[in-house]
Structure 1
Amino acid sequence: MDSGGPSGPQPPPKVRAYKKTPAPLLIPSLPLPPPPEAASYRPLASIQPEATHTLPDVSNSTPEFPHTQPRLRGVRQNAAEKERQKFEKMEELLKSLPFDNLGDFLAILFHNRPHGEPDRRGTTHGVMVARFLHGLDNIRMSDILPLIYHHRSGYPSINSASSDEQDLMFATHGSADEICNARPYMSTWATRLVAVEVRRQVGRLTKDDPTDPTHHVHLCAAANERSKAHVVTWRDLGHWSLKKLESRYWRRGAGDLIMFITEAAAAPAFEDGVAVVRARRPHPIIQINAIASFIISRNRYANGELAMILGIWHFACKSHVDVKRIYCRFGNSVADSTSRNAITSMTAASLEEWRSDVRVGLEGGKMPVFLILDNVQEYFQVNEQGIGRHNELKVGTAGTSIVLDECAPGAFDAKDHHERVAKNGRRFLTPDALFDDLDLTHIGRVMPLHWARVLVEFSPHFEPLLKAIATLFRSSPIAKRRMREGRKMKVQPLGTNGERSTETQGMERAIEDFEHQMGLDPELAKAFLFWIRGDGASYANILRLTKYCTPIRNFPNKISTPEIWHTGATDLNSTSENHYGPATCSDPSSLSKCSSTAGLKRPSNIKSCDYYPTVRNLTLIWTAHVLDCWRVFFGVEDLRVHIESLAAKNELPDLDAILRDAKQLTERYTSQAAILRSLSTRTSTNPALANKIPKGSPWVPPVAAPSSNAGEEDSDMPGLADIVEGADAARPPPPSKDSDAPKVHEEKDDFDGDRVLRNSQIFLTDFGWWIEFASAVPEGDIGRVWEIMKLWIFKFAGSSHQNYMSYLLEVYCLLRYESSDALRDTILDHWLLNLSGELGKWIPGDLLQEHYNRWLEDMIQRHGGEFDNKFYRQTISPNVDHFLRMKEEIETAFSLKRRSKTHTSPHQRDELRLLLTMFKEEEVHLFREGRSMGHAAVNQFARGVRRLEAGKLKDWLDKSSCVGDFIAEIHRLAADTPAENPANTPADNRNITMHPESEPPIMNEPNSHFPRPPSSQSTHSTSSESSRSTSSNESSGSAKSFVSELGAVDPNEPEDDGDDRSGCRLASGSTMAMWSDPETARMEHFDEGYGEREEEEENSEDPVGQEEEIPDPKINPYLDEEQVV
């Protein structure tokens, strides 16, 4: 193109030709733009090649460039012009519509032909409507409906003739066709449409979920053989959860409509379209409750969603019958009768499953279960007495079957056990062998750790060491035989019966009933031993049965062990009896004086005390003794101030240093040699002793105050003498010579020891063993428990509880002489129970049974009847474990934080401060020559060693070995062979190894607390005696050496009254228990009553003293935070 413009005729412009393949774009030659003065464009057709072109006026029009092609697009318009043109066209369209009104037009536009009739719409009509309804256009129904609903003309004004339709928004009644205005009609139409859909969805939820085979909407309480309904089982309840129910409602609802509506109604607020869930009363739980009520309202048999579960939960919680009726009317629960029938059906199913498992185990060649039993009793009062209606003691027997989950093959082989019993290896048991079997090395290691724990818990500055101490308790060498972590044992309570287990014949019938309930086939079980456990009286009766019924009913196949909790409770009674002293005792080492100083209640009967209060008080006093010993060791006036000063200087000792100091303190205050030295000034103050107790101030015996002269009247306070005489007359008389109360101890004239110091040493030793026993149980360390029980053999021998000495000797001989390695390991591994699998929640079996008994006895008070009737045998007793656990499971399912059962006792800091002040002022833990203040505790361990050595063990062996002789004679007659002389039978002196890494008891280690026999090179000086008692490496100890050196009788020791109190009833005291903290192993009190802290009324007519056992403990000293159970 020439810049000056065309100079002559030009060929016509070439138009772009389109072929199958696009041709290159040909741009025609354009003339030069017109000059600036040109006013307007000319038409494109008038442009000539030789014409002069000028620029158009762009002031009020869109600039256009001349083209040789016709314009394909219209003139560009802005949005306002387009909107205006649309409204103009709409106006023209509506005027030209051949319809009566807009409604007529819309009815034809959205005509929906009936099924089977021809479509009268045109093609364009049908396509355009289909595209619109399918949302294929830019404007969809979601844009149109809000315009109609929110149109100001769709809502009647207050002055219009149809103003009454303002009240018809979302109307649920009346005819919707009569509503004229659009918005009321649309809301009413939508409301009724949603109602129909909600009803349809609820109808779907009344049927089983086809995708979940465990889901059953209808849980039948009972059914006959012809019924196809699913009968409820505990497994069904175990599969139930609110989370699963919520997900099912969301999944099965068409469009989640019902959940959406209930969430919109229940949710407190929405953020970004998401419902806010509150921590308190979360709305999803309220939604599920509402929907479950809807379902059971539609279908009265659809009780499996929530009603059946809550009905059984109400029964487990012992809800009042009126509460059950109201909740049943709400649709939240089934009727009480339905709950009872369901529980009875579940009992039959669970017991049948249990019997099947037992049968399979027996057929597989092993004994799969063992039994724990106990007597149950409740005093039933009748308000309106008459013939046949009077107060009586309801008595029965309850039992629990437990799976032997870790049982080696052949462990319960009856033939092997009988052969070992026939050898009568127990005849060769001697006090020396029994004493040598004590793992004194372990005792010397673990007791300093308890003393260190007391110091660490005393000050918050040592708090970081708590976890390290807990780790030491749970690791070797302190830990001896700990149960496997995470182990959860399976139990099945059995139906109660009305037999008296305290009688021999009653025990026989009770055991046979329990065996029948468990499915122990006599033919299949005759080749196996059956392990039965119980408290002291039950254990004694089982032993009698094995003696008297050996030839019949397979009773020689029964083995038994005494239970752990009752053993510890008996030792607590023994300690209380030994250390309380006279009620008005002034000896600061006596528990009576300590209780008076700290404001603690002294038990009314120190020989059979309330369990929990006694444990709490004695633990406080023992802790105060230990802390005062630490104060004396550091040589300070105030232990707390001393620790704070060390913390300020950053000079706190580490754990190793504390343990070294604690070891010295235990050797100084809790060793048998130290207890003996306190009887003599010569042995206590010998300068050759490296670890002796410091000497205190000289002891001055108190002088009795002169009696007041009644004839002299105080001029300042006239009448004072009469008041004093009246007060003296009101005081109880002192105990008589024949009274059971402790008598005031009087020393002989030549006594130069320190009786107060000796009392405190014996108490620190005795209760220190109990502390170790109580702390080892929740940890599941049966090895530590068994070591204390072996020490208690000697301690019970020296106390008034002689029966428990026999019980522990019997189980000792069972484990050592009459059990294979597999049987011994199985017994030890199942002596403690854990039903939760959590750390620190192991409990003795008898305590578990007592928790069950408490529930049963409470039901007797509520419902009456006997323990052997159908209600207790089939409804209550077999399901008591489920009842106790169901309450916690329901709390967890409803997102409730598990209610802490830790007993929030008031702190005892003030009481501890008073005790520490008294111990410091009285110099209790310093040696003061000649001090004696009317109380003398007995070293029951030393006395027990002397008694066993003097012939008590021989007498017991003569009585207990008759069973072995009898079985040996039976075997001889069966084999027709000459009898073997038991005297020539070698003793099986296998030691009971508690832990693979444990060492045998070494008596010559420095941390041993017991003496050794003197070597040939040693002299009989005091220093040599101390050396042999703490650090001798010459020889091992024995009972004879103990008696010869340190077991000599204290010339001033009180004599035993000869009263055997082994069968005394233990008072219940409280429902508290203890568990150990999983992190710090700290003991905390726990309420296993699941919130049912009901006070028990004391009844003077209750003849419970007739029982020969400890039948009713309500406290667990080994549980801590929530359970047990």
Structure 2
Amino acid sequence: AVLHAIKEQNWSFASFLYHVFQTKDGKGKPLSRSTVHAQMVSRFLGGRAENSVSDILAAWMASPDGRVPAHSPNRNLMYSTSIPYTTIKPVRAALTSFATQIIGKKVACEAESAVHISSGLHAVIEKQQPVTVFLCNNIAMRRPRTRAGVVLVRKTRPPETVIHVMTHAIAAMNFCRTDQANLLPLARGILYFGSSAPVELMNYNCRIGSMPAPQTIRRSMITLSEEEAKKITGGGFPDAHGADPETAGFLIVDNCQNYHKQNDLRIGRESVMNVGMAGLYFEAADVDPAVFDLTDKRKQIARGLRKSVTVDGLLALIDSPDSEVIGALMFIECLARLIPSLNSLLAEIRLRRSATATHVIAPGQSIVHVLASNGKKETISTELKNAMLDFAAQIGQTPGKFFKRKLPVGGDGLTYAMLLQLQLLLQFHNDPFESFEIFEPQLQVWHTKWTDIIRIFQTHWGRISGKSTNPASLGYSAGKIGRAAPSNMKKVEFYQGSQLLSVVLDAKLLDIWGVAFKTKDIFVYFETLQKAKTLPDMEILLPMARKLYRAYATARGRDHALYDVTDTSDWARTVPKGSAWVHREIEDSSLDKKAQKKPKPAGEPKKPRKPKQKLPPKQYDGDFVLAQEIDFIRDALNSRKLATAVAEGDIGRLYECIKYMLFTFAGSSHSNYRGYLLETVMSLEYESSPGLKLALLRGLVWNLTGLPDHCEEGDFIVEFFNRLLEDIVQHKSAQFDDTFIRDIISRNLRHIALLKLAWRTGTSGKPPFPNFKHASPTEKPEVRTLYKLYTDVELHHRRRHRQIDDRDTDDFAKGPSSGGGDGESDSETSTASSESESESDEDSEDEGEINFATRGSTYMVNGELIFDGRDMMTGPEDLDKFAGLVDTPSEDEDAGAEDDSGI
């Protein structure tokens, strides 16, 4: 009836619909509609009718009446972007063109809003460009599949990965719209720069609009470097850290070097060692700056307590009860980690260890600023002074404007010694800044830990000239699992040395537990207990661990091993008697001294040497091999305790390890580190207030990740950034004080490293610092091999008169009576790795030698100490092409060839 009425009025159906929805006439004036007309249209367009507008549109698109014939010219009008949709007649072509053109206008409006200078990036794309995101999602992502009503999760190209791709695509389009929307393209350019991408590749990406031009990236790097400097010194930043008297910070410096080899040698183009210095500034938000008061430090020194220090007083500083608690927990931790059925105890072990900790740094991510490098040489006092003035100026401390308080300056052993020497040379200046009184030299931990590992290798390796037959020696264990002796005992690789010590210690502790449980296969033993549901708990294991620690990891246990031949003492009841020892000729460890001597240059006259009378080796009633074994376990446990304390940020136990190493270094040939640690302990104990002592210890470890149990030593972090800097300097053939290196590269090293990390983990869908164990080959086969070996030879049983070599491995006992520990001992019982009488301290470096030792870090994961030896180098290829955009000298200045790795 309605259609007939329309026809009777000589209206078309289209005219009827047009006039039904019109609200204004041809002149733009409102039309007068009846009440029924207005109500019906309002109800329909407002979505309150039984059938909505979407139903009508769907019907129009599905109706065969609106189909455009294939031969019709209107066929090309579908989804038209150029012809106005108001001029298109067919319904399907009109609707699709309408949608396309309306969305086009919306996307343009979104892009205009997104590139506004006040907008962010990722949040802007999600909030300001929802239609664009929706369209890109439809293009990039397939619809999720469902099976039996369950949505399947895609293994390849998951949605979270596609979102990253979509974000970059939209950002690239926004960048094409205006060069102001360059945040993500600029970040990509800096990433390419930090990844050493060839400049041709950067130019190509600039051409296709995915990143700015290399010159723009260079200017941005300069701006970032300037902003980073202002964050410390001020210059427009009201909260600049270094210039704020209410904040505290730590400065850690180190030398950096690379060998500049000339392929075309000429006069003036010699191959030289390129040296310089670099530094980091750490913000210490949890330290009260008042503890660094210079007046209070002077009062502490004026007490003169240093003069009354005795060896017994230094020994009394060691907290033996805490060492026993931690040692027992380390015994249990080894068992719980290697026995699968006891893994559940690891959490309780960590809890007990944390409950007894005295000083742990505050959780959270440490803020570090990389300072501009310079070309100074730390072994020359005048150049070291200029370098320190440069670093001090970068943190807002200048001769005319400085805080009258201590500024901790950390470094490796050589840096520490040179700073102390520099203070002695400048002590007669009246001004605290000119006399360097405001600086507080601080020995950092990583190089000390590395040197201690070298000492352990030198003391406990055993025979080097041939295969050792002493199961207590480190060389014996290494040979059984296919590890060769280090090529240079004075430069043991940190990561490989740490890992070998860990494996050998695990196997030995496991065998001790096997002796305690009276089993020759501890793995099968605990499998049987697990099946019987009679596994021991902490209440059973802890008393056992205490007894085992006292018997196998203390000086008293060593004395019992040498002299206790009874069966009635507590030690004898803990350490069972083994089979009778068959006497044999004792190995002469003096042969190893000759094997380690460096060959002298041809033609050098030999120095006449006074012949020594060979003394017969000392005989013991007890078990000399077991005593050597106890010495190794003591040293290895202290090394593990130090690594664990660093990872957990436990500066209290870290300091306990330092006090122990003071005596082990004194008893070895590392007399330099004896002096370093002695000065450190005396300064902290007798010339510092309790607050200053705790603050200085706080400056030894930092947490760049913010994750628990991922703290690292300050000098190790400096080494990491130095490695990045040295690679760039090497490929650029530049100097460390060149404009490009100093003003562009140095301060941006942290930004480049974090950007690479964020992009790498972001594209993989993993968190920036995943809390998972680094994928490394399993150590269980090696531990099982050594465990069986120790069980077969009854290493941890007492066998009277057992002696295989004459090495004196108790460095701790030799320390108090060493008289300075000046290298080679006159006794024939000195360790196999001691230097000849004509050579000086083990800490001395060979001039011109470059140390390429593998760096490595340690951290805790689920109670397990992880040794991470992943390479920190970036390998910049063709970075010199990009670096060539900055004018730098093409010739290297003459530099010395001295190396310092800090040990």
1:400 equivalenced with 2:280 (yes/no): yes
Corresponding residue pairs, total: 844
1:483 equivalenced with 2:361 (yes/no): yes
1:657 equivalenced with 2:540 (yes/no): yes
- Structure-2 residue corresponding to 1:51: none
DSSP 3-state at the match of 1:467: helix
- Structure-1 residue corresponding to 2:491: 608
DSSP 3-state at the match of 1:522: coil
- Structure-2 residue corresponding to 1:182: 91
Aligned match for 2:192, one of 296, 314, 325: 314
- Structure-1 residue corresponding to 2:298: 418
Q: Tell me the alpha carbon deviations over residues 882-925 of structure 1, each in whole angstroms, 9 at most, x when there is no partner.
A: 22223333456667213758432211222222212221222222
Query: What is the alpha-carbon distance in structure 1 between the residues aligned to residue 683 and residue 591 of structure 2?
Result: 47
Q: Tell me the alpha carbon deviations over residues 43-76 of structure 1, each in whole angstroms, 9 at most, x when there is no partner.
A: xxxxxxxxxxxxxxxxxxxxxxxxxxxxxxxxxx
DSSP 3-state at the match of 2:796: coil
Aligned match for 1:169, one of 78, 94, 108: 78
Q: Tell me the alpha carbon deviations over residues 1087-1108 of structure 1, each in whole angstroms, 9 at most, x when there is no partner.
A: 565795899xxxxxxx999646
- Structure-2 residue corresponding to 1:446: 326
- Structure-2 residue corresponding to 1:520: 397
Q: More relative contact order in 1 or in 2 (CA 8 Å, sep 6+)? A: 2
Aligned match for 1:919, one of 773, 782, 790: 790
Q: 1:748 Cα deviation (Å)?
A: 3.2
- Structure-2 residue corresponding to 1:981: none
8 Å CA contact 1:595, 1:601 repeated in 2: yes
Amino acid at match of 2:276: G
Amino acid at match of 2:182: N
- Structure-1 residue corresponding to 2:384: 507
Query: What is the alpha-carbon distance in structure 2 between the residues aligned to residue 691 and residue 667 of structure 1?
Result: 8
Amino acid at match of 2:859: W
Query: What is the alpha-carbon distance in structure 1 between the residues aligned to residue 232 and residue 810 of structure 2?
Result: 49
Query: What is the alpha-carbon distance in structure 1 between the residues aligned to residue 716 and residue 817 of structure 2?
Result: 33
Amino acid at match of 2:485: R
Query: What is the alpha-carbon distance in structure 2 between the residues aligned to residue 367 and residue 636 of structure 1?
Result: 58
Query: What is the alpha-carbon distance in structure 2 between the residues aligned to residue 1105 and residue 117 of structure 1?
Result: 89
DSSP 3-state at the match of 1:930: coil
Query: What is the alpha-carbon distance in structure 1 between the residues aligned to residue 394 and residue 205 of structure 2?
Result: 35
Q: 1:93 Cα deviation (Å)?
A: 4.4
8 Å CA contact 2:667, 2:814 repeated in 1: yes
8 Å CA contact 1:1071, 1:1093 repeated in 2: no
1:1084 equivalenced with 2:866 (yes/no): yes
- Structure-2 residue corresponding to 1:36: none
After TM superposition, the structure 1 = structure 2 runs for residues 175-324 of structure 1, keeping only pairs within 5 Å, are: 181-209=90-118, 215=119, 242=122, 244-250=123-129, 256-269=130-143, 280-282=158-160, 283-304=162-183, 306-324=184-202
Query: What is the alpha-carbon distance in structure 2 between the residues aligned to residue 591 and residue 378 of structure 1?
Result: 34
DSSP 3-state at the match of 2:278: strand
Query: What is the alpha-carbon distance in structure 2 between the residues aligned to residue 919 and residue 120 of structure 1?
Result: 103
Query: What is the alpha-carbon distance in structure 1 between the residues aligned to residue 300 and residue 278 of structure 2?
Result: 32
DSSP 3-state at the match of 2:333: helix
- Structure-1 residue corresponding to 2:216: 338
Change (3 A) 1:93 1:473: closer
- Structure-1 residue corresponding to 2:448: 567
Q: 1:761 Cα deviation (Å)?
A: 1.5
Moved more, 1065-1074 or 131-140: 131-140
Q: Tell me the alpha carbon deviations over residues 740-761 of structure 1, each in whole angstroms, 9 at most, x when there is no partner.
A: 3999x99538554433222211
Aligned match for 2:617, one of 745, 748, 755: 748
Amino acid at match of 1:247: E
- Structure-1 residue corresponding to 2:437: 556
- Structure-2 residue corresponding to 1:696: 578
8 Å CA contact 1:131, 1:137 repeated in 2: no
- Structure-1 residue corresponding to 2:766: 897
8 Å CA contact 1:832, 1:844 repeated in 2: yes
Choose 1 or 2 for highest CA Rg. 1
8 Å CA contact 1:573, 1:606 repeated in 2: yes
Aligned match for 1:853, one of 722, 728, 733: 722
1:430 equivalenced with 2:310 (yes/no): yes
Query: What is the alpha-carbon distance in structure 2 between the residues aligned to residue 359 and residue 107 of structure 1?
Result: 66
8 Å CA contact 1:747, 1:932 repeated in 2: no
8 Å CA contact 2:557, 2:571 repeated in 1: no
**Over aligned residue pairs, what C-alpha RMSD do you find?**
3.8
Change (3 A) 1:509 1:277: farther
Change (3 A) 1:1068 1:468: farther
Amino acid at match of 2:459: N
Q: Tell me the alpha carbon deviations over residues 1025-1074 of structure 1, each in whole angstroms, 9 at most, x when there is no partner.
A: xxxxxxxxxxxxxxxxxxxxxxx999955596554112348955434321
Change (3 A) 1:617 1:335: same
Q: Tell me the alpha carbon deviations over residues 911-953 of structure 1, each in whole angstroms, 9 at most, x when there is no partner.
A: 22221222122222223333333352421111111124xxx49
Amino acid at match of 1:769: N
Amino acid at match of 1:927: R
8 Å CA contact 1:267, 1:277 repeated in 2: no
Q: 1:289 Cα deviation (Å)?
A: 2.5
TM-score normalised to the size of structure 2? 0.85
Identical positions, percent: 26
8 Å CA contact 2:278, 2:373 repeated in 1: yes
- Structure-1 residue corresponding to 2:458: 577
Gaps of 5+ in 1: 1-85, 210-214, 217-239, 251-255, 705-732, 956-1047, 1096-1102, 1113-1125
Change (3 A) 1:1087 1:888: farther
Amino acid at match of 1:207: H
Query: What is the alpha-carbon distance in structure 2 between the residues aligned to residue 735 and residue 363 of structure 1?
Result: 56
Query: What is the alpha-carbon distance in structure 2 between the residues aligned to residue 90 and residue 329 of structure 1?
Result: 62
DSSP 3-state at the match of 2:815: helix
Query: What is the alpha-carbon distance in structure 2 between the residues aligned to residue 148 and residue 333 of structure 1?
Result: 46
Q: Tell me the alpha carbon deviations over residues 741-785 of structure 1, each in whole angstroms, 9 at most, x when there is no partner.
A: 999x99538554433222211111111111111111111111111
DSSP 3-state at the match of 1:377: strand
Gaps of 5+ in 2: 600-611, 878-893
Moved more, 464-473 or 924-933: 924-933
Aligned match for 1:829, one of 694, 698, 718: 698
8 Å CA contact 2:80, 2:97 repeated in 1: yes
Change (3 A) 1:1109 1:167: same
Amino acid at match of 2:64: R
Query: What is the alpha-carbon distance in structure 1 between the residues aligned to residue 187 and residue 747 of structure 2?
Result: 18
Query: What is the alpha-carbon distance in structure 1 between the residues aligned to residue 896 and residue 782 of structure 2?
Result: 34
8 Å CA contact 2:495, 2:868 repeated in 1: no
Q: 1:189 Cα deviation (Å)?
A: 4.2
Q: 1:603 Cα deviation (Å)?
A: 0.9
- Structure-1 residue corresponding to 2:670: 801
DSSP 3-state at the match of 1:372: strand
Query: What is the alpha-carbon distance in structure 2 between the residues aligned to residue 131 and residue 343 of structure 1?
Result: 60
Q: 1:507 Cα deviation (Å)?
A: 1.1
Query: What is the alpha-carbon distance in structure 1 between the residues aligned to residue 701 and residue 592 of structure 2?
Result: 43
Query: What is the alpha-carbon distance in structure 2 between the residues aligned to residue 205 and residue 778 of structure 1?
Result: 43
Query: What is the alpha-carbon distance in structure 1 between the residues aligned to residue 620 and residue 34 of structure 2?
Result: 128
Amino acid at match of 1:840: D
Query: What is the alpha-carbon distance in structure 2 between the residues aligned to residue 471 and residue 512 of structure 1?
Result: 45
Q: Tell me the alpha carbon deviations over residues 197-243 of structure 1, each in whole angstroms, 9 at most, x when there is no partner.
A: 4334323333245xxxxx36xxxxxxxxxxxxxxxxxxxxxxx5x3x
Amino acid at match of 1:153: D
Q: 1:166 Cα deviation (Å)?
A: 3.6
DSSP 3-state at the match of 2:547: helix
Q: 1:457 Cα deviation (Å)?
A: 1.6
DSSP 3-state at the match of 1:379: strand
Query: What is the alpha-carbon distance in structure 2 between the residues aligned to residue 695 and residue 746 of structure 1?
Result: 31
1:375 equivalenced with 2:255 (yes/no): yes
DSSP 3-state at the match of 1:573: helix
Query: What is the alpha-carbon distance in structure 2 between the residues aligned to residue 684 and residue 889 of structure 1?
Result: 60
Q: 1:872 Cα deviation (Å)?
A: 1.6
